[in-house]
Amino acid sequence: MKERDYSDILYLPTPTSERHPRMSREARAAQFAPFAALSGYGEAIIEEARLTEERALIAEEVRENILRWWQLLLVIEDAEPYITVEYFLPDERKSGGSYRTVSGRLTSVDRQRKRMTVEGRLILLDNVISIDSELYRDMINGETE
């Protein structure tokens, strides 16, 4: 077999197509990126490792206190009182959830669905563990004494 001398084409410009633009280096490199056969596996492991808490049972006397606060909030809703609410937030993906505390203005109360909005957070009455307001605490305490 005879060796060929390529000196005639060695320094010619690289041919380019008018129909197909040149691919960027990043796009060419992406073709050779490692293939993830188990896509989503890493996220699944992180989700499984995420901890949630179980919802604790609330004593009857605590539940009655929350209902007294609820009755008061229905009356003073228009004043948009500053309150602190501790509540259980169920997890959307797993059993259990987490306990949260929010302090701020009560902006709405939905009597029919038994829920309230505090600082943009929608809180169901059934998930509430405690409600407190420094300004209105005496009204609640006066009912219990």
Structural domain contains residue 76: yes
Structural domain contains residue 83: yes
Is the pLDDT at 138 greater than 80? The verdict is no
Domain that holds residue 111: 60-144
Structural domain contains residue 111: yes
Q: How many domains does the chain have?
A: 1
Structural domain contains residue 118: yes
Structural domain contains residue 45: no
Structural domain contains residue 97: yes
pLDDT band at 145 (very low <50, low <70, confident <90, very high): very low
Structural domain contains residue 43: no
Give 39-66 pLDDT, tens digit per residue.
788 888 888 888 889 999 999 999 999 9
Give 5-19 pLDDT, tens digit per residue.
888 888 888 888 889
pLDDT at position 82 is 94
Structural domain contains residue 100: yes
Residue 74 and residue 51: Cα distance in Å, rounded?
A: 35
pLDDT at position 70 is 93
Give 84-129 pLDDT, tens digit per residue.
999 999 999 889 999 999 999 999 999 999 999 999 999 999 999 9
